[in-house]
Structure formats: C-alpha cells, structure tokens
A and B are shown apart, each in its own frame.
Chain A
Amino acid sequence: MIAVWLKIDEKRVAQALQEAEEKLDSVDGEMALDLSSVRRIDPNALRAMEEFADIADTKGVKVVLRGVDVGIYKVLKLVNLASRFSFVS
C-alpha cells in the first residue's frame, strides 16, 4: 500500500528529494514520487536520487517513480540507478 505520495517540481528536484528523505521514517512500505513534470535532470538531481535510493534502501522503503520521462529513464539506466526504483506510468 502506498503510504506517501509526493509530486516533484522540475526546478527543485534535489530539494524535493531531501524533503522526501525526511518523510521516509514515517513511511510504511512504499513511497511514490511523481516526476511527470520533470523533463530533465542535472548532475545534482542525479546525485540526490542516488542518495535518496541509498537511504530508502536502509529504511526498507520501496520507492515508486511515476511519470518518468523516457529520456530521464535512460539517464538512470546509464548510471545503474534504474534498478533501484519501480516505475509506473
């Protein structure tokens, strides 16, 4: 069951992920992040996603990414991050 659902703004991806990290403790099971408005990510955001994945792993929270643009999906794939998330359209 999805406990928390967050929409990520393209202009502040890294900050949004930091805020999401703070909510991880209160999540039971899954957290969904809506990236449908994100058209491009920069290295900062990429680093933030990796950190977020690390923390979610340690807390045993499954992270579901919603509405990920295929160009971004490719970026995640190239840096071996794609396998650490689940994806829904």
Chain B
Amino acid sequence: MATHEVLPARVQFPIVTESLSEERIAYLERLVSQARAAAAVFTQFTQEDVDRIVKPMVLAGLDQAQRLARLAVEETKLGVMEDKVIKNMVATEFVYNYIKDKRTVGIIREFPERDLVEVAEPIGVIFSITPITNPTSTVLFKCIMAIKTRNAVIFSPHPNAWRCCSEAVKIMYETALKHGAPEGVFACLESHTLQDNAYLMRHKDVGLIDATGGPGAVKAAYSSGKPALGVGPGNTPVYLEKTADLTTAVTDIILSKTFDNGTICASEQTAVIDDEIYDLVLKKFAELGAHICNEEERALLARAVIDPKTGLMLPMAVGQRATDIARLAGLSVKPDTKLLIAPIQGVGRGYPLSAEKLFPVLAVYRAKSVDEALKVCVDVNHAGGLGHTAVIFSRNEEVIRKFSEVMNAGRILVNSPGSVGAVGGVYNDLAPTFSFGCGTGGGNSTTDNVNIYHYLNLKRVARRTQAHMWFRVPNQIYFNMNAVENVHQFPSQSTIIITNPALEKFGHVDIVRRYIPAGTHVHVSVIPDAEPEVKVVMQGVEALNFYRADQIIALGGGSVIDAAKIMKLKYESPQADLEELAAPFLDLRKRVIQYPTEKINRARLIAISTTSGTGSEVTPFAVLTDKERGRKVTLADYSLTPDVAIVDPQFVISMPKGLTADTGIDCLTHALESAVSSYASAYTDCNAMQAIRMAFKYLPIAYEHPRDEEARSMMHNAACIAALAFSNASVGVNHALAHAFGAHFHVAHGRANALMLPHVIAYNASVPMKFLPSPYQKGYIAHKKYATVADLLGLGGHTIDEKVKNLVAATEQLLDQLGFPRSIAELGISKEEFERAMPELTKFAFDDPSWRSNPRMPLMSELAELFWKAYQGRSPAKVADAVEQQTV
C-alpha cells in the first residue's frame, strides 16, 4: 500500500498575504455582532435558566458521541474512533458531572466569616480555536462551558477538522436554542484563513481568545493584545521508580500511549526506568504487545517520524497506528503490535526520539539511580514540554515529593496514565478539560485544566468589616495613698529594685523594701536619671541574671519603668533583638515582627510610678533613646505591660514643680490624643475623658500646692487612667512631633508635648487634607470629640467651632499657669539651627508610629508647618483666631 494512502498529506494553512475583502469583513462583523447581542441578552439569564439549557446539550452530545467520533476520524484521518467516542463522552458526561452543582450566575461563592462574596460576570464573546487532535470533544466541552457561564462563542476549527467540528457546533447550538439560549450564541467560521483568525483575535468586541491549538495559534492569541487562554506542547516524562506496581504501570502507559493513537498531548513520551526493574519492565511491555526496537530499528524509526531539520515530530505520523508507523519506517513487527519502544541514551537533538511524539512510540531510558532518573526527567520536561504534564509510578512518598518539586508541569500524575489522567475526572479529581494550561513554561496564562472559572470574570463584593478591638490592662492596679503596701502579697526569692539615684536618696526605696516579704533577697539597681539607653538596659539584665531574679520592682518615672520593661524582656528572652522588635508597623495585629514567647527565665514586674506621669506602669510601650542617631525608639507589645501597677501618691508629693508640670502635661496629652484617636472606643473614651477632666482640675493645684494630697492623688490617678486609654487607643501626631523634637534637642518629653499641644488640637480639629484609612471609625469626628471635651470641662460655646476654640484657649491658659515656654524659640534654639534640623525632624516624626492612629494623616509639609508653629509660638488670641479660620 502506498505511503500516502496510509498517511495522507496534511492540508497546510493557505498563506494569504492580501487583506480581507469588504465582503469577508462584513461576514465576520455579522458573526461578532450576533454573538455580542446573544452574550448581552444572556446576561439576564438566571442560574436556573442556564442549567435548563446545559443538561439537554450534554444529553445531545452523548447521543451523538459515536457519530461525531466517526466523522472526526474520517475527516482527520487521525486517532481511533472508539477512543474518540470515549473522549466525546468525557467531554459531555464527565464535564457535566463536574459543573452541574456549581454556581456560575450571581453569587457563586460566599465567605461569611470574611464578609466577602464572589459574583460571576460573563466574558461576553469568546473566539475559540479548536485542534485537529481532539476536534469534536473540544467543541462539545467548550459549548457546554460557554452556556454554563453565559458566554457566546465563535469557533474556528482546524481546517482539516472543519466538517466534524461544525457538525458538533450545530448539534450543540440547535439544542441550546431549543431550550432557550439566545440566538447567535454559537457560530462556526466557514472555510476560514489565518487572516480571518487574526481579524477576530483583534476585534474590539471579542472578550477572550481560547486557543486550543498548535504553537502558532497560541502565539497569535497571546500576541493579539487580548486576554487569552492557550495550551502548550507536551513532552511528558514518566518515571518508573523501583517501588512501582509494575503491572499497573506498564498497562497504564500502554493504555495512555495508544489512547486515540497517542494524540492527547499529555501522553507519555519518554519512560525513565530504574535500572533494577528496567529489564523486567521491557519484558512486560513486550508481553502486552509492544515491540522493543534494537539499535538499527531505532535509527530507522527516528528517520521516519522526526524531522531532522527541526527535531520535531513529522505531522504525518500524528495519530497513526503503531503498525503503520512501523511500516513507514521499514520495520518488521507483529501484526498486533500496539506500541513501538525505542531505548535511548540521552535527551536532546542528538537523541531524536526524546522529542514529543503524538503517536504510539515511546522512548525508554535506563537510569542507574533516583538522582539520574530525576535529572533525565527534568531534561525531557525542558525539551519542549515545560508546564505540561509529568507522570510518576512509585510507592515512595519521598521520591514522589522530590519529583513534584523538580518537574515544571501543571499536572503531575501519580500512578495513573498520562493522557486520560491529565484530562481530569477519570483517574483523579482534576477538573475535566480538553485544554491543558501550561503556565509560563508553555507561554500560557494558567497551569490549570481550563474549566468554567476561566470563562468568568469574578467580582468580589467586600463589605466593611468590623475589626475586633481590645482593652488590655495589667492584671492588678493598686491605687491611692499607701497602695505600696500591696507589695507584701507577692512572694519572691530574689527581687531587684530598679530605680534612679534621687529616689534612693529620698528614701522611696526604703519604703518599698519595708513591704517586700521577709526572706526575699533584695538588690537595688540604680540607673541614671536620663532616658534609658541600651547600655544601661544590658547592665540591668546582667544584674537580673546574676541574682536570678524572679521579681522586678521598677520604682521611678517613665524612664525607669521603661528600662525595667526592656530588662525583663531581655532577661526572659535573651535572643530578643531590640532593633528588630522596634521595626515599624501599621497595624499591631498584622505586624511582621512577633515578640518572643519562649522564655528561659520568668520574673514578675511590679511598676510603681513616681511621676504623674507617663503612665508607663500600665502601658505596653517602652521607649529607648538611641543617642547615636539622636532619636527615640519605641517598643510596643502587650507582653511589655507590667504584671502589677501601684499608683501611690506618696511617691509624688515631693515632685518638684517643673517635673509636676512636665509629667502632668504628658498625662493630659495622652488623654487628649487617645480621645480623638482613630482607635478610640467606648472603653477608652471613658478613661480619656475622665483623665482630661482630672488633669485640668488638679494639675494647677498640684503645681501650686505640691503638698495637697488630694490634688497629688487625683493627678497620679489621672496619669494612670490616661495611660489605660492610650495603651489601647494609642496616641497621635503630638507624640510623634514631641519624640522627634525632644530627642534631637534634648528637651524633656512633657515639655516637648506642651510646645506642640495647642497647635495639634487646632490641626486635628480642622478638615484633613488627607484622611487616614480608619476602619474602626465611621467618618471624621475629631472636631466633635474636642467639642465634647470642651463640654465636659464646662468651657461653653454653642457650635463645634466655638467649643474647639475654647478648648485651645483653655489649654493655652493651663500651659501659662504651669509656666511653660510658649515657643521653641524661647528655649534658646536659633532659627537657623531649627531650620537645619527641620529635614531630620520631619523625617523622624513621620517615621514615628505614634501618628498612625491620628485622626488626620499628617503630610510631611504639615509636620514641618506644625514644627514651625511651635517654633514661633502663638498668643492665646492668635491661636483662637487661627482655629476659627480652620475649624470645620
């Protein structure tokens, strides 16, 4: 029999260089217009409407499966009719089984715990290219997918499969129309050219190109500038590892390679076989009808089926029987031979049969080790099959895992045939498909088995969620006069008292010692009065280690208590990296760096504050001074919160006036900032408002009459209450400014806060240039909060403007009463020096996490402006006027 009768020549795409005629364009435009109208009308269909059409289409496809299979083989001269029947049934029945219960209209998925839903939006018009190898099954599959997802399709079948494909389209279309699908939903190009395809690929009304075809078609699709789905070439390696069930493996490979005469691109191309089982495997292949080629036969075979110029398979061999290929190559084989096996010693152009072969020819390679086997599989994978499919037969989970890691394949099939396994839904739970995405390895946009979700635009409806908030405070807080007596209830073997020299001198340490239970070893560690540095902290840690402390009593102001917090952290978790823990964050709950939870030592921290105050005895913050870089570094975590807080006013009676004013204003700033913070809640508001009221009332008294026990007690409590508020609501831009300024010019924290405070109130109360994203609050309310504060203080005013103005004035008045300098200039800092420092000040202020909960997002220019206002200072009248102009 002449060769050409066995293997007919393929019709080549006519290369047409002239542009499309007007008539042709009109025809193509008509198709697109009808499809577009159908797709538009389709958007009105419900899930029930759609499902009512899909099922009859599936049944029609099943009914015509054999007839279409026969048409396909007759026309394409490829494959096996019986196998094409199975393909048509998988494309209908199996696909239907996968999609029948899936929602593709309206809300398709709900995530109630995330307040999120997904809603389906059809693509519109899909331009679909179908292959010669799986012509009718691909059409059936795509038609069913398209209707399920409310899309219209214009088909462009392979020219050598046009008749069977157009018949498949016709069956699907007629059934769909009969059951309510819109007219024009499917169309099939008649006798088309590459120019037709190019025109439609670029058409503005085509939403998606689905190219299941050869590399040329896929490349054209992706080059068109349109969203596209494509497929890639396969060169599937199959690894038979020594623990494999060989009977299953050999049967599966033969089944796969001979299914439709090897035309499914996922079929095995090169079998890499462990040395230990190689001979046995080949024997089993032979027993089941495979012909093992000798060296001479291999060479003849390669010459017959591989193009020596390109190294690719010759089209005329595609989908042909093993016996026909053998005849073509001049090999003598048994008449019932179903597979030709060619042993090879390498992969690449020097080994032609290591290329993809969409016909029943399998290359085999003997591997001496698992390592060699995996490497050869990688070589095969990279020789024209990236992203497609890989197969392994093994019972060794470790080898399977390694194989999966090194293969670049969208489908890695374990202990199942490649071709039918990759299709999905038969041997595994992959989505059934006739379009294998090969990812970037194959120049595609997905590695998925293309399915209904690729025919949809998914819209996500995200509702505003109410984030959980918190109110976290120390376990125990003891307050009022002589509250220090409660120290006696805390047993300890070894207690370290951290304090400063002045407090030791005043006898405060002795007061504390009085109440430490007898038998406790007590050591006093004195740290300098200045803000804590790392060096000082580490010295404290040494002491804690030396004395194996199980309790730390921090007796002092914010500096001492902050130092004690960090000492405890480093003592309990020596591996803690302070620099790392001070990394910036936006949201405490999403922060990258987590504080250590593993502790090698444990110590109770009792904080006794001696100023009124930073409130450090109840806060989760600790501030270090980085003298080298001239800035403050803030650590923030609830694990830093002291276990016990003691707020005993006897320790503040002797506070000098300056310190009373500085720490008192710090307390007020905490309260005011937490009141308007974007993290404020009902839990923090009550504390903030109470603290503001107490500060305004008692701070002037405590300042003027330091021996007034009630005033001292109230201010001491106010500082702690304000700290409870800002521990949970955080502070704001006032602190960011004060930190930067204070560190750079060595100004006490409270004083630095005081210089900024009136300007910040006016700033926060005016309409922001930039809103800070704040999921915790609805709307901008800082001005109203300030007005509430004014009401609480009885400052009068009828409108919000007036009340804010009055609050600013009252604050200014308080600052005057406390003898604060009213401008930075008054501190003796020259304008030139301040100007020089400005870039660094604004940078550090912006880097400071304190402002992240500010009601206004401060721009760098605004930070600079606030610094300048604080430098220049304002008289109360001028400030009030400025607020009137700016306030909402």
Contact indicator per residue, chain B 15-46, by CB within 8 Å of chain A (1) or not (0): 00000000000000000001011111101100
* Bound: A75/B37 CA distance, A: 8
Q: How far is the CB of B47 from chain A (nearest CB, A)?
A: 14
A79 touches B40 (CB 8 A): yes
Query: Which residues of B are found within 8 Å of A75, using beta-carbon distances?
Result: 40-41, 43-44
Does A23 lie at the interface of the complex (its beta carbon under 8 Å from any beta carbon of B)?
no
Does B384 lie at the interface of the complex (its beta carbon under 8 Å from any beta carbon of A)?
no
* Bound: A58/B182 CA distance, A: 29
B43 touches A43 (CB 8 A): no
* Bound: A86/B43 CA distance, A: 22
Q: How far is the CB of A9 from chain B (nearest CB, A)?
A: 17
Does B615 lie at the interface of the complex (its beta carbon under 8 Å from any beta carbon of A)?
no
* Residue among A43, A47, A72 with most chain B CB within 10 A: A43
Does B550 lie at the interface of the complex (its beta carbon under 8 Å from any beta carbon of A)?
no
Given A42-B41, A46-B41, residue A78 in contact with residue B36 (CB < 8 A): yes
Closest A-chain residue to B36, C-beta based? A79
A71 touches B43 (CB 8 A): yes
* Bound: A44/B177 CA distance, A: 14
B41 touches A71 (CB 8 A): no
Does A40 lie at the interface of the complex (its beta carbon under 8 Å from any beta carbon of B)?
yes
B44 touches A43 (CB 8 A): no
Does A74 lie at the interface of the complex (its beta carbon under 8 Å from any beta carbon of B)?
yes
Does A35 lie at the interface of the complex (its beta carbon under 8 Å from any beta carbon of B)?
no
Given contacts A43-B34, A71-B43, A79-B36, 16 further A-B contacts (CB under 8 A): A41-B41, A42-B41, A42-B183, A43-B37, A43-B41, A43-B182, A43-B183, A44-B183, A46-B37, A47-B37, A71-B44, A74-B40, A75-B40, A78-B39, A78-B43, A79-B40
Query: Which residues of B are found within 8 Å of A79, using beta-carbon distances?
Result: 36-37, 40
A43 touches B38 (CB 8 A): yes
* Bound: A46/B33 CA distance, A: 12
Closest A-chain residue to B182, C-beta based? A43
Query: Which residues of A are found within 8 Å of B124, using beta-carbon distances?
Result: 78
* Bound: A22/B39 CA distance, A: 30
Query: Which residues of A are found within 8 Å of B184, using beta-carbon distances?
Result: 43
Closest A-chain residue to B40, C-beta based? A78
Contact indicator per residue, chain B 178-200, by CB within 8 Å of chain A (1) or not (0): 00001110000000000000000
Contact indicator per residue, chain A 27-56, by CB within 8 Å of chain B (1) or not (0): 000000000000011111011000000000
* Bound: A47/B40 CA distance, A: 12
Q: How far is the CB of A7 from chain B (nearest CB, A)?
A: 21
* Bound: A76/B183 CA distance, A: 16
Interface residues of A in 16-31 (CB under 8 A from B): none
The 7 A-B pairs at the shortest CB distance, nearest first, are namely: A78-B40, A75-B40, A43-B183, A40-B44, A79-B40, A71-B44, A43-B182
* Bound: A79/B124 CA distance, A: 11
* Bound: A67/B768 CA distance, A: 41
* Bound: A72/B42 CA distance, A: 11
* Bound: A41/B37 CA distance, A: 11
B182 touches A42 (CB 8 A): yes
* Bound: A76/B23 CA distance, A: 27
Q: How far is the CB of B332 from chain A (nearest CB, A)?
A: 62
* Residue among B37, B38, B39, B43 with most chain A CB within 10 A: B37
Query: Which residues of A are found within 8 Å of B36, using beta-carbon distances?
Result: 78-79
> Which residues from chain A sit less than 8 Å from chain B, CB to CB?
40-44, 46-47, 71-72, 74-76, 78-79
A-B contact pairs, 28 of them (CB 8 A): A40-B44, A41-B41, A41-B44, A42-B41, A42-B182, A42-B183, A43-B34, A43-B37, A43-B38, A43-B41, A43-B183, A43-B184, A44-B183, A46-B40, A46-B41, A47-B37, A71-B43, A72-B44, A74-B40, A74-B43, A75-B43, A76-B40, A78-B36, A78-B40, A78-B43, A79-B36, A79-B37, A79-B40
* Bound: A42/B180 CA distance, A: 10
* Bound: A40/B183 CA distance, A: 15
Query: Which residues of B are found within 8 Å of A42, using beta-carbon distances?
Result: 41, 182-183
* Bound: A61/B44 CA distance, A: 29
Query: Which residues of A are found within 8 Å of B38, using beta-carbon distances?
Result: 43
Query: Which residues of A are found within 8 Å of B182, using beta-carbon distances?
Result: 42-43
Query: Which residues of B are found within 8 Å of A76, using beta-carbon distances?
Result: 40
Query: Which residues of B are found within 8 Å of A74, using beta-carbon distances?
Result: 40, 43
Q: How far is the CB of A74 from chain B (nearest CB, A)?
A: 6
Interface residues of B in 154-188 (CB under 8 A from A): 182-184
Interface residues of B in 43-71 (CB under 8 A from A): 43-44
Q: How far is the CB of B123 from chain A (nearest CB, A)?
A: 12
* Bound: A51/B439 CA distance, A: 45
Q: How far is the CB of B193 from chain A (nearest CB, A)?
A: 28
Closest B-chain residue to A41, C-beta based? B41
Q: How far is the CB of A14 from chain B (nearest CB, A)?
A: 13
Query: Which residues of A are found within 8 Å of B39, using beta-carbon distances?
Result: 78
Query: Which residues of B are found within 8 Å of A47, using beta-carbon distances?
Result: 37
* Bound: A35/B38 CA distance, A: 20
Closest A-chain residue to B185, C-beta based? A43
Closest A-chain residue to B125, C-beta based? A78
Q: How far is the CB of B120 from chain A (nearest CB, A)?
A: 14
* Bound: A46/B40 CA distance, A: 10
Query: Which residues of B are found within 8 Å of A46, using beta-carbon distances?
Result: 37, 40-41
* Residue among B38, B40, B124, B182 with most chain A CB within 10 A: B40
Closest B-chain residue to A50, C-beta based? B37
* Bound: A42/B42 CA distance, A: 9
Q: How far is the CB of A35 from chain B (nearest CB, A)?
A: 13
Q: How far is the CB of A62 from chain B (nearest CB, A)?
A: 23
Query: Which residues of B are found within 8 Å of A41, using beta-carbon distances?
Result: 41, 44
* Residue among B36, B38, B39, B44 with most chain A CB within 10 A: B44
* Bound: A19/B39 CA distance, A: 27
Q: How far is the CB of A36 from chain B (nearest CB, A)?
A: 16
* Bound: A30/B40 CA distance, A: 27
* Bound: A72/B40 CA distance, A: 9
Closest A-chain residue to B184, C-beta based? A43
* Bound: A79/B182 CA distance, A: 14
Query: Which residues of A are found within 8 Å of B37, using beta-carbon distances?
Result: 43, 46-47, 79
* Bound: A75/B152 CA distance, A: 14
Closest A-chain residue to B38, C-beta based? A43
Q: How far is the CB of A10 from chain B (nearest CB, A)?
A: 12
Query: Which residues of A are found within 8 Å of B41, using beta-carbon distances?
Result: 41-43, 46, 75
* Residue among A42, A44, A78 with most chain B CB within 10 A: A78
Query: Which residues of B are found within 8 Å of A40, using beta-carbon distances?
Result: 44
Q: How far is the CB of A51 from chain B (nearest CB, A)?
A: 13
Q: How far is the CB of B793 from chain A (nearest CB, A)?
A: 51
* Bound: A78/B41 CA distance, A: 9
Q: How far is the CB of A50 from chain B (nearest CB, A)?
A: 9
Q: How far is the CB of A12 from chain B (nearest CB, A)?
A: 17
* Residue among A42, A44, A71, A76 with most chain B CB within 10 A: A42
* Bound: A44/B183 CA distance, A: 9
* Bound: A71/B42 CA distance, A: 10
* Bound: A76/B40 CA distance, A: 8
Query: Which residues of A are found within 8 Å of B183, using beta-carbon distances?
Result: 42-44
Query: Which residues of A are found within 8 Å of B40, using beta-carbon distances?
Result: 46, 74-76, 78-79
Closest B-chain residue to A79, C-beta based? B40
Q: How far is the CB of B831 from chain A (nearest CB, A)?
A: 61
Q: How far is the CB of B480 from chain A (nearest CB, A)?
A: 66
Closest B-chain residue to A40, C-beta based? B44
* Bound: A46/B39 CA distance, A: 12
* Bound: A54/B100 CA distance, A: 42
* Bound: A56/B37 CA distance, A: 21
Query: Which residues of A are found within 8 Å of B43, using beta-carbon distances?
Result: 71, 74-75, 78
Closest A-chain residue to B180, C-beta based? A42
Interface residues of B in 710-762 (CB under 8 A from A): none
* Bound: A41/B695 CA distance, A: 70
Closest B-chain residue to A39, C-beta based? B44
Contact indicator per residue, chain B 385-426, by CB within 8 Å of chain A (1) or not (0): 000000000000000000000000000000000000000000
* Bound: A43/B44 CA distance, A: 12
* Bound: A36/B743 CA distance, A: 70
* Bound: A74/B36 CA distance, A: 13
* Bound: A71/B38 CA distance, A: 14
Closest B-chain residue to A42, C-beta based? B41
